[in-house]
Every structure is written in structure tokens, then in C-alpha cells.
Structure 1
């Protein structure tokens, strides 16, 4: 009997030890805040410079800073470049802070010929265009496996886009989805900002844009795991998805926000044309300018948010 009691005691101690792993993570800060997310350093610096009452928190090596920006309570953090980093850090923020909405600020590549470097796009919806099947090459062209249904979009050679499965609270099961929406209320505020805000046109060393930059609200954006600097692929993305802009994070953040039922919007400023320019890619030249324009739109958006 004594041996049995010892076994039971050991099992109970083991259960107690592992129980916290199944519980929700403790909030690091319980004040309702807007999550303001940037992909990498230039965008982060443009926003953090104006953050007041900053207090740092660390989750898995990432820094999250609470404070006030444009008069609103925010938690500011870097997503890190890439879809996986963006999804991971956004979910961490939703788990550890009381997030009321998510606003992404960053640079991007322009794929709409009507747009120029420096323009800012606030898209209606975001798709993960590199969620795809790499199709088999046959005598009749590229073919997806016969057990798969034909998708909504034509492929680029062997790359055939597919929707992604999404699970969310209250849903009866996983849904297949390509587009993830921006919040209508936040889009309406962005339209007001677009009619009032002037954007910078010159970078350092007198590198000025040939066209005065503008803010465009509406249309589609796409995100994927590749940095795109290819004219043919740029044309495909614009024609296939009616996309204005592409990047490497926004659709991942939109996916996480959708799954958690949190309002989302992304503000993306064009640092380059994703291979559509006449010379070499100009991201290095206009990255700081694009980051500043994106940050200024985000701050104006925050000012008008309830």
C-alpha cells in the first residue's frame, strides 16, 4: 500500500508541474492597447522615436514596448521579416497584452503600374499568394494533383496559389480562405487621413521622387515568403490578384487577427517596384523615406482612432 501511495503522490506532483503549460499565458499589461507592428528596424525607429512613457517587455527574445503614441495607448513591436515571424510575434502580443486592434506599418514593393515609389497603400484585404502547389509539368503544361480541386487563380508556371485552412473561435470547422479583410472602420479612418496628410518626397542626399507621393485606400495586397525583384512575376501578381502591393508579412498578421477576431489594418509605403523599375532595385535608396511616410500615416490614423 505504501508503494502505491508513493506512486499516486508522484503522479499528482507531475500533474501539478505540467498544469500551467495548458493554461493561458499571464498578461504582461492589462490596459487595452492598439498593437502597432513593424517588420524591421527603419520602420520601428520612425515610430519608437515618438513613443511616450515607454516600458519594455520581452517575450521569446523579442522586445514589446508599451506606451502612448499619437495620444493612444499602444504596444509597439517588431514582427521580424517573414510570414512565420510576423504570425508568431502577433500571436504573442495578442496572448500577453489586451489588444483592441492591430495596425501594421511598413515598406513594400509596388506591383500596380499606377503607383510610384513613396506612395502609401492601405489595402481592403490581404492574400497569402505563395501558399501554393508546385505543379507537375506534363505534355499539356503544369497540372496539380488530380485529388485537388482547381483553385481560384491561375499559376505562374509551376506555382499554383491555393487557399489556406483557417480555424477560429466559434466556427464549426476549418475554413479554406485566401483573402483576409482589413477592418472597415479602420479603412474609413484611413480615407480621412488620406485627404488631409502630405507625404515626404525627398530622401537623404537630395534623392527626391519624380512624383509627389499619395495615399491610396482600397484594393488588394498580397504577402509571401519571397523578396520579389522580378518584372514578369510582378506583372503576374498584379494581373492575377488585382494587387497594388506585395510584402512579406501583412497577410500573415491579417490571418492571425482574423483567427482571433481582432480588427486589423496594414499601412504599406512603396520603397521599390518589385522589379518593375528601369534600373537596379531602389529599396536601399528610398527605404528610409518610405518608412517615414508609412509611420506618419500610422500616427495620423492613431490620432483619429477611438
Structure 2
């Protein structure tokens, strides 16, 4: 019943917007033509949304024989994004590329969910590796994701027992912890690290505003879980055979594997620094480190009814130090293909699963 009421609300909202389009089209409003196109598309839904960061990660999927593009409506362009329609097995899918970073990933995911009937979001790509027990080429499936780029930068002279700016207002917290720059200073006096004018940064949770919550009443989230049904279903991926060689002479030390891990993290920072990699691992117990997944997760969290999961293939040891020289450029294509292989197999699992994932859709 709730789903029917929400669908009626959507119909009324679209009707109001279409009536408004008798006026001049300006201020970034959705055109009547676009609204009609979206309406026709959604009559064929719901869809699985597949969100991919970059072209080199998306192209192997588009070129895969598993993806059959819709001959009547191959794509729809909106807001600088292209939404591609087709089927993978029996599943209707929409594939879209976000572009680099948290902002792009968040905007694209929000457009995908708001414009179309989406019953679940699958995100995949490559990532840096912070877990010494894993190797390049492995595909990770974290249970939780966090944005680790939201900081309160503490003034020089203050310490861990000093209140942060605006902490009393509830805007910031010291509960999560900090990175102290002088802990990584290579100069010392009498065996003690010298202090650093950069002092320390305290990690902060995101403010989220769930669609079923009170408008403008914030909640906070740091570790965002993937959908539990999706995560349980992904158990069947762990024996999947993955690519092991770039060419006849360049192969991984061991066969790549699918690994379920506890945590991954994202921020608008490409991590190519061993000290920070080790900090993220010791502080947060993360394995993949990337620049988009947490944004996708946070948008799906705010929608409350959108199942989400992410697959990130490890393309490099963040900051170097592995036995594989120049790993990022050498193994990126292999890692990308492995991520696509896992995503495709997961979609086939959804199709064959007895669980009705379509029942999660609420618009």
C-alpha cells in the first residue's frame, strides 16, 4: 500500500512539473520533453542501477557480451550524465559513469535514484590497497564504507583534551579519533617527536537527511553498511575465477580472488603514501581505499529503501612497497576487468536468487 501511495505522489509531482513547463524553461528546470522521456523509461522498470567511476572501468562492462543494450532507447542524457539502458541476463539495468571524486559520485547516484525506478545500486571499480594480507587483482567486498575526508582541523597548541571549534554546538566530535601530524615527523628532540604547526585533524561523520526523516533535522553517519541481503548473496562469489595475467609474461604472484572484508573508505584524495595507508589500516581497519564509494553509499543510505553493494578490485598498494613495480599503471586494466567479472556474476546471482529484490523498490 505504501508503494502505491508513493507512486501516486510521483504521478502527481510529474503532472505538476509538466504543467509548469507551459512557462519559460529556465532556472535549470526539467523540460517537458525530458519528463515525458523519463516517464516512458520508468514504465519499463524497475531497474538495477550500476554506478561506475570512470570510462576505463565502465568500458569492459559495455563491451561485455553479457550486456545487451536497449535497441529502442540506448541511453538518456541528463545533467551532464549519460544513463545507458539494457539487460544483463534477465535483469533490466541502467549503467552510468560518475566521474572522479565524492561530489560527482554523489550527484550521479542521486540523479539515478530520483529520476528512475531503481530497485538496487551496484557500484564497482578499482581501488588502492591498505590491507597487507591482500594483493593486486583481488576484488574486495566491504561490509561497511566511510567517508574519511571530513575533518575538523585543530589549531596549533590545542591537544586531544581540548574542545574542538563548534564541538559544543554538536557540529563536530572527538569520538572517532584523529591523525596527529607530528607522529609522522622525522625530526625529534631527546627522543620525542617535535610538534608540528599542522597539529592534528579529527575525523568527522557525515550529516545525513533521510527521505523518511524530518526535513532539515540532521542525523550522523560514519560507517555505512551495504545491504545485508546483497552482502549475504555475495558469499557465492568467493570461489569465482578471476584474471591473473596482463599478458603472457606479466602475471600476479598468485591467482586473484574475491574477498569479503570488514571496511573500505573513500575521500577526495588519491592515496599514494605508505604512512597514511598504514594509518588508515591501523586506525579504521580498512582494505580498499578509493574516492567515490562512500558517496554512493551515503546517498543510498539517505534514500533508506535503496539496497546497495560495492565491489572494488585492488589495482595498487597505496603508497607503493609491493613486489610489483609500477603496479598502478601495469595492473589497472586487469583489476578493472576483475571488478566487472564480479559485478556481472553478482547480477546473475540476483536473477537466480529466490529473494525478490524488486520488492525493495519504493519511489
Normalising by structure 1, report the TM-score.
0.88
Q: Separation in 2 of the partners of 1:210 and 1:15?
A: 60
Task: Select which of 279, 297, 304 maps to 1:254.
Answer: 297
The residue correspondences of 1:25-174 to structure 2 (distance < 5 A) are: 26=35, 27=38, 29-30=41-42, 31-50=45-64, 51-54=67-70, 55-138=74-157, 140=159, 145-148=164-167, 149-157=173-181, 158-172=200-214, 173-174=217-218
Provide the residue aligned with 1:7 in structure 2.
none
Give how far 1:94 is off: 0.9
Q: Decide which structure has greater strand share.
A: 1
Mean Cα displacement is larger for which, 173-182 or 107-116? Answer: 173-182
Give how far 1:156 is off: 4.4
Give how far 1:143 is off: 6.0
Aligned length: 293
Deviations 1:268-290 (A, max 9, x none): 00000111424765211111000
SS in 1 for 2:179: coil
- Contact map agreement 2:21 2:31 (CA 8 A) in 1: no
Give how far 1:206 is off: 2.8
Mean Cα displacement is larger for which, 142-151 or 36-45? Answer: 142-151
1:211–1:135 Cα change, 3 Å: farther
Provide the residue aligned with 1:226 in structure 2.
269
Give how far 1:17 is off: 3.4
- Contact map agreement 1:70 1:299 (CA 8 A) in 2: no
Gap runs ≥5 in structure 2? 1-18, 168-172, 182-199, 352-363
- Contact map agreement 2:207 2:221 (CA 8 A) in 1: yes
- Contact map agreement 2:265 2:288 (CA 8 A) in 1: yes
Task: Select which of 211, 224, 239 maps to 2:282.
Answer: 239
Task: Select which of 176, 192, 201 maps to 2:236.
Answer: 192
Cα-Cα RMSD = 2.6
1:17–1:46 Cα change, 3 Å: same
Normalising by structure 2, report the TM-score.
0.75
Q: Separation in 2 of the partners of 1:168 and 1:109?
A: 30
SS in 2 for 1:219: strand
- Contact map agreement 1:128 1:178 (CA 8 A) in 2: yes
- Contact map agreement 2:112 2:118 (CA 8 A) in 1: yes
- Contact map agreement 1:186 1:265 (CA 8 A) in 2: yes
The alignment status of 1:263 with 2:307, answered yes or no, reads yes
1:194–1:14 Cα change, 3 Å: closer
- Contact map agreement 1:137 1:143 (CA 8 A) in 2: no
SS in 1 for 2:178: coil
Gap runs ≥5 in structure 1? 1-12
